[in-house]
Structure 1
């Protein structure tokens, strides 16, 4: 009994000045020294970091249902998955800083995951394992995946935003896709008592999910998420109350998760933002204050938290230099080797949401990503500070993945994955349920996933377009397409598994692929509207690139009347697809939302419905349309066709005509 008191007391008396409270307590190194089908041998080393003990008891839980058997240098018993190893007569005493070792035989079935936490005489130990620098640890987290719109839902339950409850099967399948880490965003607001106490049931649920993930050898990044805009953004005008609440939350979280080993990282908060500030300098200072307080609370909580990797965001998790520089300065000032910086990236905004003519992943859009990752690498990584791209994707995906055309989307993900890898940035795909189906455990867009996965290790060839249009009312002619070889070499063109013949069906001249008129005529068959054939270009490495051979004619729109809440233009797309919409008044000024550009935002201001053959102008479009003034709409299609259409609004009534 005295031994328990001694060790526990050594943890309790830690003061605010003891930045490395882990000096009091214990450390365990657990090693599987041999494994075979159904069995294994484990060696355990227990180092006493506190006062000397006389009589010890080490306990742990099995994360994968293993069972302990015969032991040496310890007596091992097991009840309901909890293992207890106690000293033998000759090794009961462990001096301060001394180590005792024992071993045992065990059995396993589906997995043999190392225990996640140990306790010595009731005190949680620092988890052992391979010693890694922050840079090595961050690299080992590549690639990562976000459990989005689940535990970060602002409603009362993790299903509030339409995703199912997290299951062990989901985490099994996420790992099977090749992900090494999972970011678990958590919004705590709906689960806080007025005094800031976190609801015990919800905290236990988050711990359960974290435990499941760690049991699968996944690295985890846990944070405070939408609290950032729900209440933390009020810090400029409610400084003390926000800071106190934030501090109380992290005090509770640090205590609740201290038992978990180093594969769990903490992220202070998501996408820092403030309302009612005096300007960016104040916002940068407030973000730094919260980051510093988070760092201090976690480090002082001791145990595994004394050296746990902590993730600090820039203001807005932006990669702009004005926000990077203050975080570089703060991290260097904290003089803590176990810190990681984080930024987010959703690409060049006009392309990311498809507005202002940003329909293609062109040189401008690509340069945006190049510059962003260069700044992050040169500012942080080149100075020895690792970086996690905590979220990346396209903002248009918040509505659906069709906002950006398929081929342009694939080029974005191929390049972002490649360049982040080149700059040693760990990436975590944002997935709010629109990518990996959490019930069927399948990718909703397997081609997209193939490009994402390939980018983790290599480059893939792409092309200027993935669409080859042939007008039905015209003879078919040869089509030339520029290939983006991306360091690969072209190896062949296929229709299914049938190789097309070079020289007869296509020619290659450097990066120029030309499909012959004869081949396109054969592939187009009876020339029905839509996709007639799918060709696949294969390269020396990476994922093949698809070309859709499409028969089309210029779409035909019809007159219609409607309201600002529901205005749908009958459209015979005739095989074509809508790319952009321009809206102008007769005097040439811009109509509709985003009045600084003629080109409106895809799916937010307008959207095609190919099934019902309609083109909808959404209510948001009409909020910025003047009564009584004719608006010329110019619909741009991927074939290159353009069609003018005219609308006028009177109150909530809208009339549309072709002339």
Structure 2
């Protein structure tokens, strides 16, 4: 570590005016604390919920929850808290003592279980803090009052409690980024002064500062680096959030796979924060990560195997860059009622990524058309530095050379093996096999029998259109929408491939639904050709016409 300080001292002290600022390194204690927090978990949609902790569908917090989280390998929790709705009037903005006691109780329970706790100011960011530009003195007075109360309440709490100044800071009515940067720097400076001056353990407590929007673009990072230079406090860490390459994360513009573009976006983001901060001795916390559209209540928006590839890649990228990650869990991963993972296979992938890589493949499905003889199918193996070990069906190992062959990274399942696995060819998953690798978790492959889906004629109105659909074993990937002249149709007019949930849904086994937003966006009297793309590779066309408040759909 001494060598790093010597090298920093030897760097040129004269920089060009356009060079990004170089903040001083954090103290070893700051770096070791953030490292010890890996991996972390968010208690989302609970104490940040409005108006109370159970309002957004999660049960009251119990000690058993933190025991479960700790037993699953997590070392820290992020405790998002919305304070403003529990405050009195100016000038004191006194926080309801009962609410403060609840927050204190949950923080103490987590600390008692040996977890680090990152406590923040959460939805206040868009509920009132965002008006700082237009109502500067009032907002700043409230911000001061809020953090003064928080700092006093937790003044002597364990050093394993950290404070985060504000979640995803955003400001309305400003002239642009430069003003936004100045406003955030002012908030962070006020936060820093209040906590440090409150004394006790707060005098040296680790504080966490976000970028603007908690975004990792270069300008946001450079602005935060300038703040660190100004504060010159060795007990500070930085934080950004990451939810993936946006088109993939919400399934729009045809980005249905975790492809090279999505990989590069993740790599570039993590490289930027590593270069700006970690490489200079300043720890970084990815305070939230997940996928924007991943939700157990809305399965299928992002295909299961592509989700697994994303989390596998992210875990390795974060680990190799020494970034501490905190999974955003609003209840979509851990069922807090049963304390069971909603998708144990996915969580197994996430947990494995904390320590090693896992092999994957180009797909986790093999579709067999019932209208054709069963033939051999080939997948591309992504070994990710592991060695392919073989395939297993249940308790039986498949035989290399007879059931499958491997040539380079090409895995081919023979027609004979697939015929046996497909059995009576009922629609849907006929069999599941596992590709096993020398490290990490197995890669699941479903063998699926299907026929081309059948969509029926339908009528509706501006409340939407429900299209009766026989999926016949297939699964919808995305929807393309074009007018007769070739132009794009739908709310996202910049792309023909519309966004799942915004333009269409397919959550049941009997229908595809066009949303009110999609129907209302259509030109009156113009026919729209929809092309539904399925994961088997099959495409089905369908025609829709809006006439006033009525919409009709017909098979091609």
Whether these two folds match at TM > 0.5 is: yes
Aligned to 1:539: 437
Instruction: Show the counterpart of 2:189.
Output: 292
User: Following the alignment from structure 2 to structure 1, what is the Cα–Cα distance between the partners of residues 529 and 354?
Assistant: 45
Aligned residue for 1:509? 407
Aligned residue-pair number: 527
Match of 1:549 among 429, 440, 447: 447
Contact 1:400 1:434 in 2 (8 A): no
| Aligned residue number for residue 166 of structure 1 | 61
CA displacement, residues 476-526 of structure 1 (integer Å, 9 cap, x when unaligned): 111110011000000010111100000000011121101011111111111
Choose the corresponding residue for 1:590, options 466, 488, 492: 488
> Mapping of 1:229-268 within 5 angstroms?
229-268=126-165
Q: CA RMSD in A?
A: 1.1
Q: Which residue of 1 aligns with 2:23?
A: none
* Structure whose alpha-carbon radius of gyration is higher: 1
Output the TM-score relative to the length of structure 1.
0.79
Could you tell me which residue of structure 2 aligns to residue 17 of structure 1?
none
Residue 270 of structure 1 pairs with residue 167 of structure 2: yes
> Could you tell me which residue of structure 1 aligns to residue 12 of structure 2?
none
* Conserved 8 A contact 1:267-1:310: yes
Question: Could you tell me which residue of structure 1 aligns to residue 424 of structure 2?
Answer: 526
Q: Secondary structure at the match of 1:483?
A: strand
2:386 counterpart of 1:491: no
Q: CA deviation at 1:401?
A: 4.8
> Is the Cα–Cα contact under 8 Å of residues 519 and 551 in structure 2 kept in the other structure?
no
CA contact 1:145–1:183 (8 Å) conserved in 2: yes
Structure 1 residue 424 and structure 2 residue 311: aligned? no
* Superposed counterparts of 1:80-91, under 5 Å: none
Pair 1:193-2:88 in alignment: yes
Aligned with residue 133 of structure 1, among 29, 39, 45: 29
Alignment partners' CA distance in 2, 1:570 and 1:477? 31
Post-superposition CA distance 1:415-437 (Å, at most 9, x none): 00110011000000000011101
Query: In structure 1, what is the equivalent of residue 465 of structure 2?
Result: 567
List aligned pairs for 1:633-648, cutoff 5 A: 633-648=530-545
Q: Provide Cα deviations, 1:226-275, integer angstroms capped at 9, x if missing partner.
A: 00000111111111111111011001100000121110000000001011
Runs of 4+ aligned structure 1 residues displaced above 4 Å come to none
Pairwise CA distance, 1:610: 3.5
> In structure 2, the residue corresponding to 1:492 is in which secondary structure?
strand
In 2, the alpha carbon distance for the partners of 1:401 and 1:368 equals 24
Say whether residues 1:150 and 2:46 are aligned partners: yes
Deviation of residue 603 (structure 1)? 2.4
Which 5+ residue runs of structure 2 have no aligned equivalent?
A: 1-26
- Give the one of 467, 473, 496 matched to 2:371: 473
| Aligned match for 1:360, one of 254, 257, 275 | 257
Q: 1:443: which partner in 2?
A: 341
| Alpha-carbon distance, 1:397 to partner | 2.3
Please state how far the C-alpha of 1:159 moved relative to its aligned partner.
0.6
Matches within 5 A, 1:257-336: 257-336=154-233
Distance apart, 1:652 and its partner CA: 2.2
Determine if the alignment matches structure 1 residue 605 to structure 2 residue 495.
no
- Secondary structure of the residue aligned to 1:247 is helix
452-461 or 132-141, which deviates more? 132-141
CA distance in structure 1 between the partners assigned to 2:462 and 2:308 by the alignment? 35
Q: 2:143, 2:227 → 1: CA distance?
A: 19
CA distance in 1, matches of 2:28, 2:61: 30
- Which structure has greater strand proportion? 1
Distance 2:301 2:315 in 1: 20
- Contact kept, 8 Å, 2:391 with 2:397, in 1: the verdict is yes
Question: Which of residues 447, 452, 455 in structure 1 aligns to 2:353?
Answer: 455
SS at match of 1:395: coil
Q: CA deviation at 1:619?
A: 1.0
Residue 61 (structure 1) aligns with: none
Equivalents in 1 of 2:507, 2:114: separation in Å? 44
Q: Deviations over 1:549-594 (max 9, x none)?
A: 0111111111111122141111111110000000111111111111
SS at match of 1:657: strand
User: Retained in 1: the 8 A contact 2:298–2:507?
Assistant: no
Q: Does 1:388 align with 2:285?
A: yes
Q: 1:354: how far off?
A: 0.5
C-alpha distance in structure 2 between counterparts of 1:593 and 1:537, whole Å: 40
Contact 1:573 1:610 in 2 (8 A): no
2:38 aligns to what SS in structure 1? coil
Hey, what's the Cα distance between the residues in 1 that align with 2:520 and 2:36?
49
Distance in 2 between residues matched to 1:348 and 1:401, nearest whole Å: 19
Q: Is the 8 A contact 1:309 1:339 kept in 2?
A: yes
CA distances 1:425-465 after superposition (whole Å, capped 9, x unpaired)? 00000000111010100000111100100000000001110
Matches within 5 A, 1:61-140: 133-140=29-36
Cα contact 1:532–1:549 (8 A) shared by 2: yes
CA contact (8 A) 1:154 1:189 kept: no
- Name the SS for the 2:146 alignment partner: helix
Structure 1 residue 410 corresponds to structure 2 residue 308: yes
CA distance in 2, matches of 1:523, 1:225: 50
- Contact 1:627–1:651, Cα closer than 8 Å, also in 2: yes
**Does the CA-based 8 Å contact 2:464-2:519 persist in structure 1?**
no
Q: TM-score, normalised by structure 2?
A: 0.94
Gaps of 5+ in 1: 1-130
- 1:342-395, Cα deviation, whole Å (9 max, x unpaired): 000001000000011010000000110000000000000011110000000000
Distance 2:144 2:471 in 1: 57
State how far apart, in whole Å, the 2-side matches of 1:513 and 1:184 are.
Answer: 45
Aligned mates of 2:445, 2:461 — CA distance in 1: 39
What's the CA shift for 1:132?
5.8
- Structure 1 residue corresponding to 2:270, chosen from 343, 367, 373: 373
Match of 2:104 among 207, 212, 225: 207
Following TM superposition, by how much is the alpha carbon of 1:538 offset from its aligned partner in structure 2, in angstroms? 0.4
